Every structure is written in C-alpha cells, then in structure tokens.
Structure 1
C-alpha cells in the first residue's frame, strides 16, 4: 500500500510538471503563430529557422534528436535517465518551426516534455525499474492530455503507445492521476486550447455502420500514405544531404517554394481554422493531399512539433470530403477522420476513439470506435513513433479475434 501511494504521489507531481510545461508551451506557441500571421514575410526565413534547429540538435542534442523514440526506448530497455535538455530543446525547436511556417504539430512536443520532466524525478527519489517505467508512461500520457484537453485519452495513450498488439494496464492508476492533474493544471494556467463543437443529431443505422467501415478503410490508407511519404523524405535526406545541419535547411527551401507555388498558404503551421471549417462544409480532396506533402517534408527534414495536428488536419479534411459520397453528416465524418487517421498512424486506436468522444461527445462512441479500429488494421505496422514494439502483428490480432468468436 505504501509503495503504491508513493507512486500515485509521484504521478501527481508528474501531472503538475507536465501540465505546467504544456501551458507554457501552448501560450508561447500561440504567440509565435500570431506573430507569424501578422508578419507573413517570416515564412521566407524558414530555411534559416531550420539551420538554427539543425545546428542546435547537432551541437547540443545528442540522443535528444530521437524524440519520442528515445522515450519508448527507455521504457522498453531502461538504462539512462532522459537528458533534461530534451525538454527545452524540443520546445524551442517547435516554436521556431511554427514561427517560420513549418507544417507541424504540437502534441509530440508536449509528450516529450512530459516524459522528460517525469524522468527527472528519478534523480531526486529512489525508484525501482518498474516505478520509472510507470512514471515515463504517465509523463507521456500527461503531456498528451494537457495539450489536447482530453484526460481519459491521455491516460490510455501513455499505455497504448508503448507497444502494438497488447494493451498492458500495469500503470493505469499512475496514468490516470498524472493525466487528470496535467489537464487541470494546464487549464488553471490559462493555456489556449482549440475548440471543436459537439457532433449533434447522431442516428445509427446499418447503412451508417457500413459507411463508417468504408471511411475507416480510407482513413487507414491515408495514414499509411502519410507515414510512407514521411519516411521517403527521411531516406532522401539521408542519401543526398550528408550534414545533419543542412537537412532542415534544404527542407525549408523546398517548403517555401512549394508554399508559394500552392499560393493560399492555408497549410502553413497548425491550420486550426481550416480544421474547424471542415466541420461546417465539405472540403476539397486536394486539402489532405497538400497537408500530407507539406507535413511529410517538414517532419522528414528534421523540423520539430510532431504529427498529431497535421494528421488531424488530414483526417478531418478527408472525412469532410467523403461527406459528399457517404450518407453521414460532414461534422460526423470530420470528427471520425480527426481521430482515426492519427490513431492509425500512432497505433493507438482505443485512445483516439476515446479522444473523439471526449472532444465531440460520447454519443458518437460506436462510430468512433469502429472507424479507429478499422483504420488501425488497414494502416500496416509502419508508425510515426520509432521504437514502438510490435508484440503481436495486426494480422495475428485479427485472427485471434475471429478465433475467439
């Protein structure tokens, strides 16, 4: 009892640190975004921002460059405490990425900061290997929770993201405590969150479930295309750009050129206003294609911020466009795409289905779970998080389900 109480107290401390860090991050990120929108010429300096990020990680980053992959590596095979520099470096890298117009997200940064700060407790308090593993998972989930404003999803995300094929609940209590504490700390500190209205007038029918199944197939394929393209950019950079400092510079030059060729600049930065618009009227199928290209080039070239919001952009836009041919409302399909594409890319379908319910209302739960699970199985094993352990292949998972039946 005493040891469990200690872990819960430490989990609450993790939540406070992750929530405070996420609040600072969201407030400064909002300021950077507003500054860029007021001074659009800053986009021309994206290659310079890339040079600063590349040099910073080359000179001072060491293993921090691995990002979330390093966190998963330490969860699976604990050895060294995560370097404290990882938190400020990913924070500054993400702010620079968005200040100069990179097409990236923000939740990946919050996850890295939450886990990094959680791991520092091991320098102050004597813990076992299992304690450290639980706190790392709780820190990652708390960062996710604080950044998106969905505490239940954050707790599940920390548990589900570490491995594919088996959900272990050994740190559920710690994740719940850290996630809810981080959520409320972030809210108390006044961090800005994106607002999406609930999906109303939900009705269920056999045709509706068939439509959601079909949409889930498309969402899973979209996630797979995004991951393949991002990895393709990484391979090209590795093959043709030898010095790591130059990779984001080259990527920045290409991005600036493509932004100006496309002309609308709607795909710069987070694109929250565009995502919100998809819930009101059908989007063009070109939108998720553009966002895939711009984000794959941004992330694959070494800019920081993560993929969550871009994948939400892609999923919401794709769902919105599908409303023209599927017998479901534009808001419903946008909400399903919002959760399912990221859930497939991160291999976290349960966390993302719960996230959809927390953000858009629990009345969409049956459709949300179906869309996320179908997209997850279609997307393949290539994921956005390196070092994610595959315990059981998706094919074996399906066979196990059918055998059970």
Structure 2
C-alpha cells in the first residue's frame, strides 16, 4: 500500500470513529441526563413518601413482567444486564435494541419504590442499546461492532459520574481482566467526553461531590495501613459479589426463572428488611449517607446493611447499577474504621469507596482515574496503591461473571487464560 493510500486509510478510519463516537456521545449524554434527573426526582419522591416502600412487591411484578415479555429474544436476555454487553463484545450474544428503554423504566420503578440500586448499569446498557441501533443503521462488521459497544460503555460511565477520563478507560478495561483494548481508544475517548459535556453543559447536570478534607503525610506506616485496609475493602467486594450472585442462582432455581415471581418475592424481603432495621436509609441509592460518610459518623452496620439490601434487590431481578451501592459500602466501612485506623475520616471514606469498587469491577486503572477525577488528585499515591491491592486480593470474582481473564491477576491463581469469571468459579467448586 502506498504512502498516500495509507494516509487516506488512517484519515478515513479516524473520521469514521470520531463521527460515530460523537453520535454515541450525544445520544448517551442526553439519555443519561434524563436518567439522572428522573432518578433524583423519583428518589426525592420516595424519601418524602416513605409508604411507597410497601408497594415494592407490586413494583416487582411490573419489572418482572416487563422483562419476561419484552426482555428476551432467543438466548439474549436483557436481564443479564452488563453481562449481555460483555458477551456481545466477545461475540457470544447480541444486544437487544430495546434493552435501553427497558432498563431505564425498570430502574425508575426500582428507585421510586425503594429497591437498593445504582445508575451506571442503566447508563451502560443504554449505551449498548444505542450502539446496536447505530449498527443496525450502518451495518458494521463484527470487529467494528465491538468497538462501538465499548464506546457506548465509555459514554454511559463518563456521563453518569461526571468522570470522562475514567469513562474512556473503563470502556476499554471492563471487558477482560489484564487487558486494555487500545483499538477502541478513539471511539471511547470521543464518546466519553462528548457524553459528559452534553450531560453537564447542554442539560445542566450537576454531579455529587465527595471532598477529602485531609490526606495523611506520605510515610511507610500510612502506606502499610492503606494496603491492609485495601485488602479488607477487596474482601468486602468479594462478599457482596458472592452473595448477590448466590441469591440470583437460588432465586432462579426455585422460581424456575419466572422473573415475575422472583421480583415479587424480592420486594417482600426488602419490605421486611426495612421494617426490621427500622430505617429507609438503605433503600434507593443512599446518596445522603454516602456523602455523610465523608463528614461525620454513620452507623457502624451501614456497610453490611447496604450490602444485604443491594444483593437482595438485584439478586431477585430488580435492575439499576452496582457502582453507587459499592461506593456506599466502601465509604461507610471506611468511616466505621476511622476509630481504628487513625487516619482522616474523609480519606478513609474515599479509600474505601474506590477500593471496594475496584475489587468488584476488576478495573484498577479506571478506578485509579476515578479517584483522581472525583477527589481532584488528592492522595494520588495512596489511591494508586489501594486500587492495585484491591484488584489483586479480590481474586477472580466480580460484579460481572462474563468478564474474561486475559492474564491471571497473579501466578498464584492457577487459571486458564480466556476463561470467564463464571467458568473459573464453576471450576473451583469441582
């Protein structure tokens, strides 16, 4: 190929992906703005009308019916959520174009009636839905479709949290452990930054702020504490993932995957848990207590309460996201350890928030960048160590069983390359 032809090919490819990234970013930025605005309104409505929690079982019937009627097409089940997006990138499934609208409506219902959930799952799945729609229009090949799906993930994450740099890397890192898919860099970059600025500038979205008041001086002792704490936070993420997926397996087994029955039972359990604990602090997104964890004491059991509420909510078929709940668990556990660790409260909450998310998502680089963007670069050395530690000690577990292992986290883990987290966990039980 001549130099001129090579130059033209590069220019054409860059132009194509910049254009597609812009399309994905504009659409996902706008739909994510709708998601955040509506979730805020519904969350506030629930907090002002605590009696709505009693209708969560009925809401479960609605969510379950919707997914059973509209959420499946052959082997492609929208209730697999982010796992379906990952499977599609690996060429094992196809994303349903109606997946985005369904997960949005399901998330709105879950938030309004008090299920414990987040938002990034809905944003990412809408990204996959939009990518599939663009693919339908332009009829792209299998390789380009994978890149487009990753750009949808980036746009959804970047717009949902106001962290465009993190969004770029998250879309490339989420799919496989131990590998960044750099071929998706341009579409992920354009989509994430476009989605973020469309949400913030065009639609006026204001994201939550988490402020670290004080960072400990760099010392061997402080680093040692951060490493030990990060191991604890990684184990917290493993506990959540195992409980959440265990509940899902059991509920699907005994209801024969009847999602209507599953979500109804899940709603009943959440109502019972709410009455038992005597508080609605662990229903919905829990943003107020999450922010409180950076400033003042929270209940010492808050992290385990949120873990159980979220595992039951999502394990029984409600939908939304898991990043915000993981933030909550990690930040409140960090707050609880304040009296033991002898480190600043806001710093502990921040370390817990990021390390717990990293252990569950298996995305150490994205988690580190998330800390940089959320906390304005404060404690950057500590967060770098915390994310790597959590990533290693969480083992081959995670939020999304469809994630594949390109390289084991360390050679002590004797697993075959290319296996999914689900396959590795199944092998370990034999």
Whether the TM-score (by the shorter chain) exceeds 0.5 is: yes
Q: Give the corresponding residue for 2:339.
A: 324
Aligned pair count reads: 398
| Residue in 1 that maps onto 2:217 | 203
Which residues of 2 match residues 1-400 of structure 1 at below 5 A? 1-62=11-72, 63-77=77-91, 80=94, 82-188=95-201, 189-242=203-256, 243-396=258-411
SS at match of 2:402: coil
- Per the normalisation by structure 2, the TM-score is 0.89
Tell me, yes or no, if the aligned pair for 1:78 and 1:129 is still in contact at 8 Å: no
Question: How much is the aligned-residue C-alpha RMSD, in angstroms?
Answer: 1.6
Conserved 8 A contact 1:199-1:364: no
Tell whether the 8 Å contact from 2:155 to 2:188 is kept in structure 1 after alignment.
yes
1:130 Cα deviation after fit: 2.4
Contact 1:142–1:178 (Cα < 8 Å) also in 2: yes
- Structure 1, unmatched stretches of 5+, are 400-405
Secondary structure class of the residue paired with 1:139: helix
- Once the two structures are overlaid, the 10-residue window that deviates more, 371-380 or 191-200, is 191-200
Conservation of the 8 A alpha-carbon contact between 1:64 and 1:70: yes
Residues 64/228 of structure 1: CA separation in 2 closer, same or farther (3 Å cut): same
Conserved in 2, the CA contact under 8 Å of 1:346 and 1:383?
yes
Q: State TM-score, norm by structure 1.
A: 0.95
| Counterpart-to-counterpart distance in 1, 2:221 and 2:215 | 16
- Contact map agreement 2:116 2:325 (CA 8 A) in 1: yes
CA distance in structure 2 between the aligned counterparts of 1:383 and 1:261, rounded to whole angstroms: 29
Once the two structures are TM-superposed, the CA of residue 398 in structure 1 deviates from its matched residue by 8.6
Shift of 1:114: 1.4
Match of 1:402 in 2: none
CA distance in 2, matches of 1:28, 1:240: 34
Post-superposition shift, 1:238? Answer: 2.1
How far residue 88 of structure 1 moved from its aligned partner, in angstroms, is: 0.6
**Which residue of the partner structure matches residue 426 of structure 2?**
none
